[in-house]
Amino acid sequence: MSEKTFLGHGTIATFTVVRYPPIGFESESPYVVALIDIEDGPRVIGRVSGPLELMSIGKSVLFVGESRGALEFKLRG
């Protein structure tokens, strides 16, 4: 996606917490990356911000934008 795309809401299909990041992401870990099923839309991969302990399969997320080429979401509720 080369332009800012409004994805709306989605559900976490699965996720992980990256604790050993690749180059360039070291200062950010631990962080959550998830496969997200967009409501009435495709499955995408993106970062999810929010408390680690609240992350789980099935949780609702909201698209917040694109950053450095990656889709960013936040936990809803």
Partner 1 sequence: MTPVTAGSDKSLRELFIEAATEAIEDAGVDKLDSMYVGNMMSGYLQKQEHLGALMATAIGRQGIPTYKVEGACASGGVATNAGVKAVLSGLESIVLVGAVEKMSGYTTPQVTEGLMMAEDRSKVAATGISFVGLNAMIAREYMHRYKVKSDDLAEFPVLCHENALANPRAQFHKRISVDDVLRSPLVADPLRLFDCSAIGDGAAAIVLVPLDKARKFTDSPVEITSSAVATDTLSLYQRPDITTFEASRKAATHAFGVAHIKPDDVDVLEVHDAFSVLGIMALEDLGFERKGSGVQLLKEGVCTREGHLPTNTFGGLKARGHPVGASGAYQIAELALQLSNRADKCQVPNAETGVAQSIGGIGATVAVHVLKRVA
User: Which residues in 23-52 contact partner 1 (CB under 8 A)?
Assistant: 23-26, 28, 31, 33-35, 43-47
Q: Could you say which of 8, 39, 49, 57 contacts partner 1 (CB under 8 A)? A: 57
Structure tokens at 43: 């499955």
Q: List, in order, residues 6 or more apart from 8 with CB less than 8 Å away.
A: 38, 39, 41, 62, 63
CB of 55 to partner 1, least distance (A): 9
Taking the C-alpha atoms of residue 59 and residue 5, their distance in angstroms, rounded to an integer, is: 21
Q: Could you say which of 7, 61, 71, 75 contacts partner 1 (CB under 8 A)? A: 71
Q: Could you say which of 3, 6, 40, 68 contacts partner 1 (CB under 8 A)? A: 68
Contact in structure between 28 and 49 (CB atoms under 8 Å)? no
Residues that bind partner 1 (CB under 8 A): 13-26, 28, 31, 33-35, 43-47, 57, 68-71
